[in-house]
Amino acid sequence: MNVDATSVGALPELEFAQGAEHRFEIYNEEGDCSRNVLASCCPYFKDLFAGDELNAKQNRIVITGLDHVSLEKLILYMYGQSLTISVQNVQAIMVTANFLQLHRIVEICAAFICCHLLDEENALAVRRFLYSLGCRSAATKVERFIEKHFILIAQTESFLDLSIEEIVELLSKDWLHVESEEQVFFAAMRWIEHSPERSQLIDRVLSCVRLHLLEKTFLMKEVFHNQIIRNHKHFCDLIERVLKYHLAPELLPMARSTLSRPRCSPYFPILVMGGNSDKACLSDVENYDSAFQLWKCVQPMRVPRNYFGIAVDGDRVYVAGGRDDCYNTLNSVECYNATRNEWTEVARLRQKRFAPVAAFLKGKLYVCGGFHDRPLNTVEVYDPENDSWEDGVPMNVSRRGACVAVLGEYIYGEVAESCS
């Protein structure tokens, strides 16, 4: 990554002085620099020369504790040369730029780290590093990454090295991306069991686990009978109260307790697809990444469409029917594989449908109602195993553009917007 004064926009035009030069000793390596150039480009040198008459007059200033290669690159950058940021030098340049108060360079380095270096193994260290340099915006992005990839991060060695304050702060987050609270419990116990001394911290650590969200059988098998936990009477008493809550929740109202508040994380991404824009029918698909709070375009649908039925099954999204750019009612069906970021066509509906509704139940796709020449009450059922459709039980009322939801073994649909 090359950075120059134009792209950064942080440095004024450089004025090369004709007068006295200063020599800067950096780890015994010396170089000639203009005081005026450095002061005009760098807040650190500006304050250094303006605030101390001795520093303003002396011909040699010794700077220690910095990477001399990075300092040399940044001084050359102040003279108008481009600055190359790479995987190998970004950390040293960032530390040096932070010392010199070149905040825009620090921001660029932080963004580079988030885009090119951040992964599950180093996320905790990167967060600590960014906070140490005051890069709160970039550190917040890393926080979102940690929340999103908590399960994998909890398996790393760096997770075991967290301090008690850090582990409590992490496990207390509302936005951890977990499928169940059991995963948070296992992560907490992994940290505790890493060192015998940590058993004394069990109350502080396990108090971050939402105990009332754990299944009763899990509480009995994995929690209550855990030997480390049984050695702490206070926590055993808490587990007993939680078990009583499972037996009679109406007698122990815990709705406002942290222990019973669900994690708020969206485990799956948000997808927005199709529709209209300036009277044109769209095939575009956008994906919202909650970790970095940004939208990005993913693979578009094969056919532009609006007013279609949509349903989700695991990492697959199905769109059925709808209408195209020419107001033709469609019977085509597409499946989006979120893992592979690709769309494939599957078997077509038996009947064209405009504004149907769709839902998955027991591994099969139900497409209900819609409109084609007349309001429809018919239902079609798709089996992904053999890529085929069959007729389902018709609805009692014809409808289009309705809403459906699955609960247990039933699909429920609204009736208010029915069509006669």
The pLDDT of residue 113: 94
Q: Which of 117, 138, 167 marks a domain boundary?
A: 117
Q: Which of 207, 235, 260 marks a domain boundary?
A: 260
Token pair, residue 78, equals 């102040």
Token pair, residue 171, equals 């496990």
Q: What is the CATH number of the domain that holds 155?
A: 1.25.40.420
How far apart, in whole angstroms, are the C-alpha atoms of residue 12 and residue 6? 10
| Residue 381 covered by a domain | yes
pLDDT at 246 over 80: no
* Percent of the chain clearing pLDDT 90 (strictly above): 51
* Range among 36-50, 52-66, 153-167, 328-342 with highest mean pLDDT value: 153-167
Domain identity same for 100 and 12: yes
Token pair, residue 16, equals 């090369």
The pLDDT of residue 63: 76
| Residue 135 covered by a domain | no
Segment holding 361, helix H or strand E: strand 357-361
How far apart, in whole angstroms, are the C-alpha atoms of residue 392 and residue 390? 6
**Averaged over 383-410, what is the pLDDT?**
91
The pLDDT of residue 21: 41
The pLDDT of residue 324: 92
pLDDT at 6 over 60: no
| Residue 123 covered by a domain | no
The pLDDT of residue 291: 56
Domain identity same for 396 and 312: yes
How far apart, in whole angstroms, are the C-alpha atoms of residue 3 and residue 106? 12
Q: How far is CA 38 from CA 96, 101, 415, in A?
A: 15, 12, 73
- Number of domains present in the structure of the chain: 3
As beta bridge partners, residue 164 has: none
| Residue 137 covered by a domain | no
As beta bridge partners, residue 285 has: 273, 298
How far apart, in whole angstroms, are the C-alpha atoms of residue 178 and residue 353? 37
* Residues 279-327: tens digit of each pLDDT: 789 999 999 876 566 788 999 999 999 999 999 998 899 999 999 988 8
Q: What is the CATH number of the domain that holds 71?
A: 3.30.710.10
Domain identity same for 286 and 406: yes
How would residue 17 be classed by pLDDT, with cut points 50, 70 and 90?
very low
User: What are the strands of the beta sheet with 309-313, ordered from one edge?
Assistant: 309-313, 316-320, 333-337, 342-346
**Letter for the amino acid at 167?**
I
Domain identity same for 295 and 234: no
Q: Which of 260, 290, 312 marks a domain boundary?
A: 260
Domain identity same for 383 and 280: yes
| Residue 180 covered by a domain | yes
pLDDT at 27 over 80: no
**Averaged over 211-238, what is the pLDDT?**
81
At 406 the three-state DSSP class reads strand
Total number of residues shown for the chain: 420
How far apart, in whole angstroms, are the C-alpha atoms of residue 409 and residue 235? 39
The pLDDT of residue 364: 95
Contact between residue 286 and residue 272 where contact means Cβ atoms under 8 Å apart? yes
Higher-confidence position of 145 and 7 = 145
Secondary structure of the chain: what % helix, strand, coil (to 5)?
40, 20, 40
Domain identity same for 387 and 282: yes
How would residue 16 be classed by pLDDT, with cut points 50, 70 and 90?
very low
Range of the domain at 386: 270-413
Q: What is the full DSSP assignment across 124-144?
A: HHHHHHHHHTT-HHHHHHHHH
Q: What mean pLDDT, rounded, does the chain reach? A: 83
How would residue 126 be classed by pLDDT, with cut points 50, 70 and 90?
very high
The pLDDT of residue 266: 53
| Residue 126 covered by a domain | no
The pLDDT of residue 312: 92
The pLDDT of residue 279: 77
Domain identity same for 244 and 285: no
Domain identity same for 69 and 201: no
Burial class (CB in 10 A: 0-12, 13-18, 19+), 253: exposed
How far apart, in whole angstroms, are the C-alpha atoms of residue 380 and residue 284? 26
How would residue 277 be classed by pLDDT, with cut points 50, 70 and 90?
confident
| Residue 127 covered by a domain | no
The pLDDT of residue 165: 97
Pairs from 121-127 (Cβ < 8 Å, separation ≥ 24)? 121/156, 121/158, 122/158, 123/149, 123/153, 123/158, 124/153, 124/156, 124/158, 124/159, 124/161, 124/162, 124/166, 125/158
The pLDDT of residue 54: 57
pLDDT at 68 over 80: yes
Domain identity same for 289 and 403: yes
**Averaged over 252-265, what is the pLDDT?**
59
* Residues 152-166: tens digit of each pLDDT: 999 999 999 999 999
Query: Where is average pLDDT lowest: 26-40, 82-96, 184-198, 378-392?
Result: 26-40
pLDDT at 205 over 60: yes
Domain identity same for 214 and 240: yes
| Residue 321 covered by a domain | yes
Beta-carbon count within 10 A of 32 CB: 8
Domain identity same for 234 and 366: no
Domain identity same for 280 and 394: yes
At 287 the three-state DSSP class reads strand
Higher-confidence position of 312 and 22 = 312
pLDDT at 332 over 90: yes
Beta-carbon count within 10 A of 156 CB: 16
